[in-house]
Structure 1
Amino acid sequence: MHTSVPHRLDRSAPAIAAATLCAFMQLAHGQAAAPAAAASAPASDSSESETVQKVIVTANKREQAALDVAASVSAIGAERLTLSGATRLEDFAAQIPGLSIIEVTRGQMAVVLRGISTGALQSTPTTAQYVDEAPVGSVNAYAEGAVITPDLDPSDLQRVEVLKGPQGTLYGAGAVGGLLRYVTAPADTERFFGVVTLGANKVSEGGVGSNERVALNVPLAKDVLGLRVSAFERTEAGYIDNPVDGRRNGNTARTRGGRVALDCKLDPDWAVRVWALTQKLKADGYGSEDVLAPSLAPLTGDLQRSTWTPEPQTMSLDLANASVKGRLGSFELVSSTTWQDTESRMATDTSRANTAILQFIFKVPGLGVQTDGLIKTRRISQELRARSSAFDDTLDFDLGVFGTKEDSSYLITAGSPFLMATGQVFPSPPLADLDIGSKYQEVSVFGNATWAVSPTFDLLGGLRLSSDKQRFDQDDVPTIAAPVAAMVTQDVAQKHTTWMLGARYKPTPDSAVYVRAASAYRPGGPSALPPGILPDGKASFTPDNLISYEAGYKSEFLSGKASIEAAVFATDWKNIQLRTSAQGPTIAYAYFINGGTAQSNGAEVTLVWVPASGLTLRANGAYTDAHLTSDAPAAGGVAGDAMPYTPKWSASTGGDYNFALGAHKAWVGATVNFIGSRRSDFSQHLPVNLPSYTTLNANAGMDIAQARVSLYVRNISDRRGINYAAPAGDQTTGLNPSGNPFSATVIQPRTFGVDLAYRF
Structure 2
Amino acid sequence: MRRRVVSALFCAAAVGALAPSITRAEARRGEAVLRFDIPAQPLGQALNQLALRSDREILFSPALTQGRRSPALSGVFTAEAALARLLDGSGLTVRLQGRGFLIVPETKAAPTTEPASPPPPPPPVDLDLVVVTALKRSSLAQRTPVSMVVVGGEQLSRLGATQIEQAAPLLPGLKLVSTSFGARLVLRGVYGAGEATTGLYYDETPMTGPVGTTADPGVMSPELALVDVDRIELLRGPQGTLYGSGAMGGALRILFKHPDPTQTASAIDVSASTEAHGGQGAGGAAIFNAAIIPDRLAVRLTAYDERRPGAIDNTRLGIKDVDVARVGGARLAAFWAPTEAVSLLVSATHQSNHRADISGWNDTAGPWRTVHAGRAPFDGDIDLASATLKWRGSTVDVTAVSSWYRWRLTRRSDYSGVLLGERTNPAGCARLFAVANACDDDQMRRYAAYVDSVYPAILNQPAELTAQIHEARASSTGAGPLSWTLGVYREVRFDRIDSQVRHVDPLTGALIEPAVLIGRRDIENHLSQSAVFGEVSYAVAADTDVTLGARRFDYVKRDRGGVQTPNVVSGTWAGYAIDARGQERGWSLKALASHQLSPGLFSYVQVSQGFRPGGVNVVPGLPDGLAVYRSDRLNNYELGLKAQSADRRLTANLALYQIDWRDMQYAAQTQNRAFNYVTNIGAARIRGLEFEASAQRVEGWDFAASLTLTDARLTADQITNTAIGLGLAGDRLPVVPQLAATASMERRWRLATGLDGRLRLDGAYSGLARSSFNPGNADYIKMGGFAVFGVSAGLAGGAWSVDAGVENLLDRAGRASAARNTSGPIEYFGVAPRTLRLTFQRRF
TM range, smaller chain: 0.7 to 0.9
C-alpha distance in 2 between matches for 1:82 and 1:422: 37
Count of residues paired in the alignment: 702
Question: Aligned in 2, Cα 1:665/1:193: closer, same or farther, shift over 3 Å?
Answer: same
In the alignment, what sits opposite 1:665?
756
In the alignment, what sits opposite 2:381?
316
**Do 1:51 and 1:610's aligned partners in 2 also have CA atoms closer than 8 Å?**
no
Structure 1 residue matching 2:779: 3-state secondary structure: coil
Structural mapping, 1:240-255, within 5 Å: 240-255=312-327
Structure 1 residue matching 2:242: 3-state secondary structure: helix
How many angstroms does 1:128 deviate by?
0.6
C-alpha distance in 2 between matches for 1:672 and 1:48: 31
In the alignment, what sits opposite 1:386?
474
**Do 2:609 and 2:634's aligned partners in 1 also have CA atoms closer than 8 Å?**
yes
Larger radius of gyration: 2
Structural mapping, 1:339-488, within 5 Å: 339-355=404-420, 357-358=422-423, 361-363=447-449, 365=452, 367-388=455-476, 393-416=480-503, 419=506, 430-481=517-568, 482-488=572-578
How many angstroms does 1:312 deviate by?
1.0
**Do 2:504 and 2:510's aligned partners in 1 also have CA atoms closer than 8 Å?**
no
Question: Aligned in 2, Cα 1:300/1:330: closer, same or farther, shift over 3 Å?
Answer: closer
C-alpha distance in 1 between matches for 2:525 and 2:625: 20
C-alpha distance in 1 between matches for 2:750 and 2:149: 29
- Out of 807, 832, 836, the residue aligned to residue 748 of structure 1 is 832
C-alpha distance in 1 between matches for 2:575 and 2:565: 5
- Out of 675, 680, 689, the residue aligned to residue 782 of structure 2 is 689
**Do 1:465 and 1:495's aligned partners in 2 also have CA atoms closer than 8 Å?**
yes
**Do 1:110 and 1:149's aligned partners in 2 also have CA atoms closer than 8 Å?**
yes
In the alignment, what sits opposite 1:676?
767
How many angstroms does 1:484 deviate by?
2.0
Structure 1 residue matching 2:219: 3-state secondary structure: coil
How far does the alpha carbon of each residue in 1:497-524 deviate from its partner, in whole angstroms, 9 at most, with x for none?
Answer: 1000010000233321100110010011
**Do 1:139 and 1:522's aligned partners in 2 also have CA atoms closer than 8 Å?**
no
Question: Aligned in 2, Cα 1:426/1:659: closer, same or farther, shift over 3 Å?
Answer: closer
In the alignment, what sits opposite 1:524?
614
- 2:655 matches 1:567: yes
How many angstroms does 1:727 deviate by?
1.3
C-alpha distance in 2 between matches for 1:385 and 1:102: 34
- Out of 674, 678, 684, the residue aligned to residue 592 of structure 1 is 678
Which 10-residue stretch deviates more, 200-209 or 635-644? Answer: 635-644
- Out of 693, 712, 715, the residue aligned to residue 626 of structure 1 is 712
Structure 2 residue matching 1:97: 3-state secondary structure: coil
C-alpha distance in 1 between matches for 2:231 and 2:374: 40
**Do 2:464 and 2:496's aligned partners in 1 also have CA atoms closer than 8 Å?**
yes
C-alpha distance in 1 between matches for 2:392 and 2:510: 66
**Do 2:212 and 2:523's aligned partners in 1 also have CA atoms closer than 8 Å?**
no
How many angstroms does 1:53 deviate by?
5.4
C-alpha distance in 1 between matches for 2:123 and 2:683: 50
**Do 2:303 and 2:330's aligned partners in 1 also have CA atoms closer than 8 Å?**
yes
- 2:249 matches 1:158: no
C-alpha distance in 2 between matches for 1:558 and 1:329: 33
Give the CA RMSD over aligned residues.
2.9
Structure 1 residue matching 2:533: 3-state secondary structure: strand
**Do 1:472 and 1:489's aligned partners in 2 also have CA atoms closer than 8 Å?**
yes
How many angstroms does 1:468 deviate by?
0.6
Question: Aligned in 2, Cα 1:420/1:483: closer, same or farther, shift over 3 Å?
Answer: farther
- 2:182 matches 1:108: yes
How many angstroms does 1:416 deviate by?
4.0
> Counterpart of 1:579 in structure 2: which amino acid?
A
TM-score by length of 1: 0.87
**Do 2:502 and 2:518's aligned partners in 1 also have CA atoms closer than 8 Å?**
yes
How many angstroms does 1:259 deviate by?
0.7
How far does the alpha carbon of each residue in 1:185-229 deviate from its partner, in whole angstroms, 9 at most, with x for none?
Answer: 011001111111111011011100111110000001100011110
**Do 1:49 and 1:614's aligned partners in 2 also have CA atoms closer than 8 Å?**
no
In the alignment, what sits opposite 1:227?
299
Structure 1 residue matching 2:337: 3-state secondary structure: strand
- 2:351 matches 1:279: yes
- Out of 669, 675, 689, the residue aligned to residue 603 of structure 1 is 689
Structure 2 residue matching 1:695: 3-state secondary structure: strand
C-alpha distance in 1 between matches for 2:508 and 2:355: 25
Structure 2 residue matching 1:116: 3-state secondary structure: coil
Structure 2 residue matching 1:352: 3-state secondary structure: helix
- 2:572 matches 1:500: no
In the alignment, what sits opposite 2:801?
708
- 2:732 matches 1:642: yes
Greater fraction of residues in helix: 2
C-alpha distance in 2 between matches for 1:619 and 1:286: 33
In the alignment, what sits opposite 1:135?
206
How many angstroms does 1:591 deviate by?
3.6
C-alpha distance in 1 between matches for 2:563 and 2:707: 49
Which 10-residue stretch deviates more, 425-434 or 271-280? Answer: 425-434
Which 10-residue stretch deviates more, 92-101 or 270-279? Answer: 92-101
> Counterpart of 2:795 in structure 1: which amino acid?
M
- Out of 170, 180, 191, the residue aligned to residue 95 of structure 1 is 170
Question: Aligned in 2, Cα 1:573/1:483: closer, same or farther, shift over 3 Å?
Answer: closer
**Do 1:457 and 1:506's aligned partners in 2 also have CA atoms closer than 8 Å?**
yes
How many angstroms does 1:374 deviate by?
2.0
Question: Aligned in 2, Cα 1:409/1:508: closer, same or farther, shift over 3 Å?
Answer: same
- 2:139 matches 1:68: no
How far does the alpha carbon of each residue in 1:648-685 deviate from its partner, in whole angstroms, 9 at most, with x for none?
Answer: 11111112212111121221112111111111122235
> Counterpart of 1:687 in structure 2: which amino acid?
Y
> Counterpart of 1:249 in structure 2: which amino acid?
D
Structure 2 residue matching 1:725: 3-state secondary structure: strand
C-alpha distance in 1 between matches for 2:132 and 2:414: 44
- Out of 186, 199, 202, the residue aligned to residue 258 of structure 2 is 186
> Counterpart of 1:305 in structure 2: which amino acid?
T
- What are structure 2's unaligned runs of at least 5 residues? 1-12, 17-28, 33-95, 103-120, 425-443
- What are structure 1's unaligned runs of at least 5 residues? 1-14, 19-28, 33-38, 292-298, 729-735
**Do 2:415 and 2:501's aligned partners in 1 also have CA atoms closer than 8 Å?**
no
C-alpha distance in 2 between matches for 1:381 and 1:41: 33
How many angstroms does 1:478 deviate by?
3.1
**Do 1:213 and 1:230's aligned partners in 2 also have CA atoms closer than 8 Å?**
yes
In the alignment, what sits opposite 2:640?
552
In the alignment, what sits opposite 1:295?
none
C-alpha distance in 2 between matches for 1:714 and 1:376: 35
Question: Aligned in 2, Cα 1:548/1:419: closer, same or farther, shift over 3 Å?
Answer: same
How far does the alpha carbon of each residue in 1:691-743 deviate from its partner, in whole angstroms, 9 at most, with x for none?
Answer: 41111111111123422111111010111112221112xxxxxxx3x2x6211
Which 10-residue stretch deviates more, 610-619 or 398-407? Answer: 610-619
How far does the alpha carbon of each residue in 1:86-127 deviate from its partner, in whole angstroms, 9 at most, with x for none?
Answer: 22122231332222110225x711111010003xxx111100
TM-score by length of 2: 0.79
In the alignment, what sits opposite 1:77?
152
Q: Percent identity?
A: 25
How many angstroms does 1:480 deviate by?
3.9
Which 10-residue stretch deviates more, 249-258 or 305-314? Answer: 305-314
Question: Aligned in 2, Cα 1:363/1:507: closer, same or farther, shift over 3 Å?
Answer: same
In the alignment, what sits opposite 2:401?
336
C-alpha distance in 1 between matches for 2:508 and 2:231: 50
Structure 2 residue matching 1:169: 3-state secondary structure: helix
Structure 2 residue matching 1:247: 3-state secondary structure: coil
> Counterpart of 1:341 in structure 2: which amino acid?
R
Structure 2 residue matching 1:173: 3-state secondary structure: helix
C-alpha distance in 2 between matches for 1:484 and 1:66: 57
